[in-house]
Copies of this chain bind each other. A is one copy, B any other.
Amino acid sequence: MLLRMSSLFLRTLREDPADAEVPSHRLLVRAGFVRRAAPGGYTWLPLGLLVLDRVAAIVREEMAGIGGQQVHFPALLPREPYETSGRWTAYGDDIFTLKDRRGADHLLAPTHEEMVTLLVQDVTSSYRDFPLILFQIQTKFRDEARPRAGVLRGREFLMKDAYSFDLDDVGLAAAYDAHRAAYQRIFARLGLETTIVSAVSGAMGGSASEEFLASTPVGEDTFVGCTACDYAANTEAVVTPPAPAVTAEHPPLEAHDTPDTPTIASLVDHANAHRLAGRADWTAADTLKNVVVRAGGDLVAVGVPGDREVDLKRLGAALGADVAMFDDFPSRPDLVRGYIGPQGLGLRYLVDPRVAPGSAWLTGANEPGRHATNVVSGRDFVPDGVVEAADVRAGDRCPACADGELTIRRGIEVGHIFQLGRRYTDAFGLDVLGADGKPVRPTMGCYGIGVTRCVATIAEQHHDERGLVWPRAVAPADVHVVAAGKAGHVQAALDLAAELTGRGLRVLVDDRAVSPGVKFTDAELIGVPTIVVVGRRLAEGLVEVRDRASGTRADVSLASVTETVLGGV
């Protein structure tokens, strides 16, 4: 491959695009890899498409390596199968739906569990046809509420989705492990540093799932690690160890006038100042904060210790529904804002695992300006259940080893693997003939990689203040030859580029009639790993070989430059 900058469809920009918040967005646009075409929709220019294709090829290769067979489903599908699985409504506004000319409902499929189940039902019949791994690399469409960060979170993107079918749980576990290992190889080859974290399954359904999160400060996901063990989890999936039940007897519930104490801080101050229940050592952790949210269509009250915030993302993940703070208090005079207590509350009431059976709390008395002490769980109120609603903080005790403390990082989800089980094979009644002549229902896994997102994530992890710094395996070219100087240098650069191309290298050559400064700036912005400058010292038979990542430079004789470059690649 030989690309000449003089004819390459490329315009680099010196200024950041106005709408770009994150480095990958800024640099991929400035270096001419992508251009915005629509809200959340990007056009891939030639250099960008080369990277995207290389990423896809690595994904395809590793999927084939674990026995995956590539297929391709339609993106536009009728409503019925998604109705059968329940996903037509489960995804809500996140999917694009449309009607065809006959008025029939269709969607642009988010993933293809339904179709792959129907296909396997159609094509297989016997236990001999299993295990089976099918995958595709396909454009997906999602009606993101807030498309952002360029191709990191767009409305149209390339995704690899894979599906495993096995006859039993042991088979599923093996398929899951094979994908897990393949994903580790894929991300390593892509130059992505990722952490595997426990995750919640969300609308996909199923039991076990893990995410591959690439650490970057701009990541939308927050995940925890442990200072003592190898526990790692998306904060959404962190399970709080339940506090032990309290068996001590408590005095009876007592209500107090606590005027102007609608916040935890004001309540604690008041309680200490007035020595409520004879104590002056009240802290926020002694109070029970009750928060009312809308979850799906219902109102739910959630109780957490007053020193914690309710994390709506965690709560939503736990409830499997979109969650929003309730704020229409005028419509519910029974809910006394700032003074809500669980006792006698006319709402479904869920508590944080720290709210142990038998524990006593300072909480609202459901009257304006009044709180109550010795409100005891199991005596004065009975929770309808336990829920992960409180925020996770650095320093929290690790739920796995109970020894270390949690640390918190941000990351981008580049892969997600699920043990689905039989949710979809049950929904469509997929059975095959077992070895014993009886029908057996296969169990499924599903496994996704955001191919487009990987490109942006690589850019997040591999850039500096001057531009992109592509890992060799995905770089748009192996070598960037820069003709820096007089006209004769262009011919020498083209000759060298031809020689390098002849040796199997993918070469970008800057043969434009612009200044060397412009060319160097563009070369560093574009980020090809090796830059060869054909310039001033050409008369002495020397060219300069630069390593984009380390910045090291060496003068090399023209006769040996090809070997030098090949040695580095």
| Residue contact B98 to A97, C-beta cutoff 8 Å | yes
Task: Give 30 CB contacts A-B under 8 Å.
Answer: A7-B67, A9-B71, A9-B123, A9-B134, A10-B123, A11-B123, A11-B125, A32-B123, A35-B119, A37-B74, A38-B74, A38-B77, A39-B100, A43-B71, A44-B72, A45-B71, A45-B123, A46-B71, A49-B70, A49-B72, A52-B72, A75-B139, A75-B156, A76-B108, A76-B155, A76-B156, A93-B101, A98-B98, A100-B155, A101-B145
User: Taking the complex as formed, is A132 at the interface, i.e. its CB lies under 8 A from any CB of chain B?
Assistant: yes
> Within 8 Å CB of A44, what residues of B?
71-72
Shortest distance between the CB of A201 and any CB in chain B (Å): 24
| Residue contact B69 to A96, C-beta cutoff 8 Å | no
**Could you tell me which residues of chain A, from 1 to 60, have a CB within 8 Å of some CB in chain B?**
7-11, 32, 35, 37-39, 41-46, 49, 52
| Residue contact A8 to B45, C-beta cutoff 8 Å | no
User: Taking the complex as formed, is A549 at the interface, i.e. its CB lies under 8 A from any CB of chain B?
Assistant: no
Choose among B45, B69, B106, B125 the residue that contacts A9 (Cβ–Cβ < 8 A). Answer: B69
**Could you tell me which residues of chain A, from 118 to 176, have a CB within 8 Å of some CB in chain B?**
118-119, 122-125, 132, 134, 139, 141, 143, 145, 155-156
Which has the most chain B C-beta neighbours within 10 Å: A10, A41, A67, A156? Answer: A41
> Within 8 Å CB of A115, what residues of B?
37, 43
Shortest distance between the CB of A82 and any CB in chain B (Å): 11
Q: Which residues of A come within 8 Å of B, CB atoms?
A: 7-11, 32, 35, 37-39, 41-46, 49, 52, 67, 69-78, 93, 96-98, 100-101, 104, 106, 108, 115, 118-119, 122-125, 132, 134, 139, 141, 143, 145, 155-156
> Within 8 Å CB of A41, what residues of B?
74, 76-77
> Within 8 Å CB of A76, what residues of B?
38, 41, 96, 108, 141, 155-156
> Within 8 Å CB of A145, what residues of B?
101
> Within 8 Å CB of A75, what residues of B?
139, 141, 156
> Within 8 Å CB of A100, what residues of B?
39, 96, 143, 155
Chain A interface, >50% SS class: mixed
> Within 8 Å CB of A9, what residues of B?
69, 71, 123, 132, 134
Shortest distance between the CB of A247 and any CB in chain B (Å): 51
> Within 8 Å CB of A73, what residues of B?
37, 43
> Within 8 Å CB of A43, what residues of B?
71-74, 115, 119
Shortest distance between the CB of A276 and any CB in chain B (Å): 48
- Name the residue on B nearest A120 (C-beta): B9
Q: How far is the CA of A499 from the CA of B139 in the complex (A)?
A: 37
> Within 8 Å CB of A141, what residues of B?
75-76
> Within 8 Å CB of A101, what residues of B?
93, 143, 145
> Within 8 Å CB of A132, what residues of B?
9
> Besides A35-B123, A46-B71, 15 other CB < 8 A contacts?
A7-B67, A10-B123, A11-B123, A37-B74, A37-B115, A37-B119, A38-B74, A41-B77, A44-B72, A76-B108, A76-B156, A96-B106, A97-B98, A98-B98, A101-B145
Q: How far is the CA of A118 from the CA of B38 in the complex (A)?
A: 11
> Within 8 Å CB of A46, what residues of B?
69-71
| Residue contact B11 to A74, C-beta cutoff 8 Å | no
> Within 8 Å CB of A49, what residues of B?
70-72
Q: How far is the CA of A100 from the CA of B97 in the complex (A)?
A: 8
Shortest distance between the CB of A115 and any CB in chain B (Å): 6
> Within 8 Å CB of A98, what residues of B?
96-98
- Name the residue on B nearest A72 (C-beta): B44
Q: How far is the CA of A7 from the CA of B134 in the complex (A)?
A: 12
Q: How far is the CA of A43 from the CA of B74 in the complex (A)?
A: 6
> Within 8 Å CB of A39, what residues of B?
78, 100, 104
Shortest distance between the CB of A437 and any CB in chain B (Å): 17
> Within 8 Å CB of A71, what residues of B?
9, 43-46, 49
Q: How far is the CA of A431 from the CA of B28 in the complex (A)?
A: 26
Q: How far is the CA of A329 from the CA of B352 in the complex (A)?
A: 75
> Within 8 Å CB of A156, what residues of B?
74-76
10 closest A-B pairs by beta carbon, nearest first, are A41-B74, A98-B98, A44-B72, A93-B101, A11-B123, A46-B69, A9-B69, A74-B156, A101-B143, A43-B73
> Within 8 Å CB of A8, what residues of B?
69
